[in-house]
Amino acid sequence: MDDIPRSLPTKPVKLMDQFRFWLRQNQYSYRTEQTYVLWVVRYIRYNQLRHPSTMGAKEIQAFLSYMSVQRHCSPSTQKIVLNALNCFYRRFLQQDYGELNFRQSKRKPRIPAVFSEQEAQAVITLLPKPSQLICELLYGAGLRVSEALRIRIKDLDFDRMIITVHQGKGDKDRRTLLPKSCEERLRCASKLP
CATH number of 179's domain: 1.10.443.10
Q: Is residue 161 a contact partner of residue 177, using CB atoms and an 8 Å limit?
A: yes
In three state form, how does the secondary structure of the chain look? Answer: CCCCCCCCCCCCCCHHHHHHHHHHHCCCCHHHHHHHHHHHHHHHHHCCCCCHHHCCHHHHHHHHHHHHHCCCCCHHHHHHHHHHHHHHHHHHCCCCCCCCCCCCCCCCCCCCCCCCHHHHHHHHHCCCHHHHHHHHHHHHHCCCHHHHHCCCHHHEECCCCEEEECCCHHHCCEEEECCHHHHHHHHHHHCCC
Pick the last residue of a domain from 77, 92, 107. 92
Report the number of distinct structural domains present in the chain.
2
Is residue 138 included in any domain, yes or no?
A: yes
pLDDT digits (tens, 9 = 90+) for 108-132: 777 888 888 899 889 989 998 878 8
Q: What is the pLDDT of residue 103?
A: 82
CATH number of 55's domain: 1.10.150.130
Same domain, 124 and 183: yes
Is a pLDDT exceeding 60 seen at residue 143?
Answer: yes
Q: What is the pLDDT of residue 1?
A: 45
Same domain, 74 and 124: no
Same domain, 70 and 35: yes
| 3-32 mean pLDDT | 86
pLDDT band at 18 (very low <50, low <70, confident <90, very high): very high
170 or 141: which leads in pLDDT: 141
Is a pLDDT exceeding 70 seen at residue 102?
Answer: yes
Pick the last residue of a domain from 92, 125, 144. 92
Separation between Cα atoms, residue 149 and residue 137, nearest integer Å: 10
What does pLDDT average to over the chain? 88
Same domain, 20 and 88: yes
Number of other residues whose CB lies within 10 A of the CB of residue 100: 14
Same domain, 87 and 133: no
Stated pTM of the model: 0.60
Same domain, 21 and 88: yes
| 93-113 mean pLDDT | 84
* Domain housing 160: 117-190
Is a pLDDT exceeding 70 seen at residue 3?
Answer: no
- pLDDT above 90 as % of the chain: 42
